[in-house]
């Protein structure tokens, strides 16, 4: 920082570079809601919430894979403490399908 004639401080080029470098490290997309790979806070915007939940499901359920509810819950719990919220959201939006008898889920 440089002291100007009027006594105000102004940032030097080094300070600007440090600020810019820190801005590049800021997580983008769904990553900004995660801490150590788990949901730390839920997004307030519906689009962000949908993106985060879809990312979680992409990690938990492969294309054309069928799993029982208990197995799916166990997988989702690696990312969130509320697997029911995530499952319901995905079924409601058509991202995954639930068997009519509720025994399994698939993409």
Per-residue pLDDT band for 16 (boundaries 50, 70, 90) equals confident
Q: How far is CA 63 from CA 19, 36, 67, 68, 88, in A?
A: 42, 25, 11, 15, 18
CB 52 within 8 A of CB 30: yes
Q: What pLDDT, in 10s, does the model give residues 73-106? A: 999 999 999 999 999 999 999 999 999 998 899 9
Can you give the residue ranges of every domain in the chain? 2-106
Q: What pLDDT, in 10s, does the model give residues 59-74? A: 999 999 999 999 999 9
């Amino acid at each position: 920082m440089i002291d100007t004639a009027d006594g105000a401080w102004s940032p030097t080029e080094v300070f600007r570079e440090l600020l810019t470098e820190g801005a590049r490290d800021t997580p983008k997309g769904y990553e900004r809601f995660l801490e150590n790979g788990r949901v730390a806070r839920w997004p307030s915007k519906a689009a962000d919430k949908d993106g985060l939940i879809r990312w979680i499901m992409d990690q938990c359920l492969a294309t054309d894979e069928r799993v029982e509810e208990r197995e799916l819950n166990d997988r989702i719990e690696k990312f969130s403490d509320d697997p029911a919220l995530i499952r319901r959201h995905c079924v409601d939006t058509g991202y995954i399908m639930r068997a009519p008898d509720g025994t399994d889920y698939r993409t």
